[in-house]
Amino acid sequence: MRFGGLTAVRSVDFTVNSGEIVGLIGPNGAGKTTFFNCLTGLYVPTEGTVSYKGTVLPPKPHLVTKAGIARTFQNIRLFANMTVLENVLVGRHTRTKEGLWSALLRGPGFKKAEKASEERAMELLEFIGLAHKRDHLARNLPYGEQRKLEIARALASEPGLLLLDEPTAGMNPQETRATEELVFAIRDKGIAVLVIEHDMRFIFNLCDRVAVLVQGEKLVEGTSDVVQADERVVAAYLGEPFEATPEDTQPATEAESTTSTKGEAQ
């Protein structure tokens, strides 16, 4: 992924298998969020493809969500003036198909679908523990609950892969632990999770595998032990010069971001 002359993410080949929790770490500006945006179609990768369950995804956010990849945002992007329940119902959008006619005519199918959506949304709210706040406006929730609600909204689209962008940013240790449990519970539902995070304890407790992104390139990938033992990771975080820094001499045309889940290698 390039922005003008700046290559933000380059040649990241990355696979998430089903039922896995994978961490993505890296110093600020390493391109983690850009990578997420490429995956979810918010950015169109300059080069490379994203595939899910063997099919290449078009770079359109709503089609990516429809295919089964849902995400949260680094800066909470809830629909602030909608209620908690409505937020989750919006997440159900791709899994329902009642159009304008159905809404205007209000046939039995419409009522049934609305009821089913609401039930499903309430299940999710109970799952994250916000069922009692269903009619509160999202903007009025405390910070930690807004984070949870964003996860519930993403889960409402029944994803196979959930992308969490710094889910514990700004949280206290208790809240972080609660989020950890939440992510495990999500994995137990059979949903693969890819999580960006700066909290190392959180990441290494949680993840089956961890990948390190530095200056747009994948530095190392492996289990917690492997990553923690890698000197280059420590060097990258502490700001020491990193010998494999991409040189400007090479024209930045090889940007590639490839991901696939369920073991389908690209």
- Site size toward another protein (CB under 8 A) is 58
Stretch that binds another protein, among 13-21, 90-98, 217-225, 241-249 (CB under 8 A): 90-98
Answer positive or negative: Cα dihedral of 29, 175, 21, 156. negative
Residues 109-168 that bind another protein (CB under 8 A): 110, 113-114, 117, 126-132, 134-137, 139-140, 148, 153-154, 157
Nearer to another protein, 141 or 219 (CB): 141
Residue from the set 103, 116, 229, 244 that interacts with another protein by CB under 8 A:
103
Contact 221, 209 (CB under 8 A): yes
Residues 222-251 that bind another protein (CB under 8 A): none
Asked if 263 interacts with another protein (CB under 8 A), we say: no
Residues 53-82 that bind another protein (CB under 8 A): 60-62, 65-66, 70-71, 73, 77-82
Q: Is 93 exposed, middle or buried (0-12, 13-18, 19+ CB in 10 A)?
A: middle
Nearer to another protein, 99 or 239 (CB): 99
Instruction: Report the distance separating Cα 24 and Cα 35, nearest Å.
Output: 10
We find the least distance from the C-beta atom of residue 190 to another protein, in angstroms, to be 13
Tokens of 60: 């359109």
Binding site for another protein (CB under 8 A): 40, 42, 60-62, 65-66, 70-71, 73, 77-82, 86, 89-94, 96, 98-100, 102-104, 106, 110, 113-114, 117, 126-132, 134-137, 139-140, 148, 153-154, 157, 178, 181-182, 184-185, 188
